[in-house]
Structure formats: structure tokens, C-alpha cells
Amino acid sequence: MSVRVTLNCQVKPDQFQTLLPFLEDNLPNVRGFKGNMQVKVLFDEKNNEMFLDEEWLTLESHQAYLNFIEQNGILEELGSFLLAPPTIKYFDKVEI
């Protein structure tokens, strides 16, 4: 069973266009990381809010990815575009 991971990010005013090249460079790395099944990026321009909708094989695979980007500086670089750290939530996929 996979796990859905959401990251709610409050982007700094007028930073989304600057953030886009960073996302374009780094999303292939997320998508290629062991255990990642998909990543979608949504943006609410009115509220400067970015929502990352990710699917991972396991919670542990996502946490391994977070550890990886924390150690290589990517997480810190992402944080430079945001007003606060992302709110991360985990949801188990329910088959109904």
C-alpha cells in the first residue's frame, strides 16, 4: 500500500517565478528517488501557496528522501523561497 504525502508551502511574495527553475531542476531527482511514484505541483497565485502532492511506496522511503535533501542542502535551498517550513502530512491510501 502506498502513502500520499502533501507539502503545503507558503511562498514568499513575488518568489514563485524564481522558484520555478529550482523546481524544474529538482523535480526529476524527486521522481527518480527510490520509492517515489509521482509528484504534482499546484499553485494558488492569489494566496502565494504551493501544494506538492506526492505518492511514495512507503513512509520510510519519503523520510529517506527528506534526509537525503537535508544533507545535500536542497531542503535549505527550497526553504529560501518560503515564508516558513512546509507543512508535511502523510495519508494512507484507502481502497474503497
Phi, psi of 43 (to 5 degrees): -140, 130
> pLDDT value at position 96?
87
> pLDDT value at position 75?
94
> pLDDT value at position 95?
82
State the SS3 of 36-92. Answer: EEEEEEEEEHHHCEEEEEEEECCHHHHHHHHHHHHHHCHHHHHHCCECCCCEEEEEE
Cell of 16: 514563485
> pLDDT value at position 94?
79
Domain ranges of the chain: 3-92
How many other C-beta atoms can be found within 10 angstroms of the C-beta atom of residue 62? 22
Mean pLDDT by runs of 10 across the 96 residues of the chain is: 94 95 96 97 96 97 97 95 96 85
CATH 3.30.70.100, applies to 3-92: yes
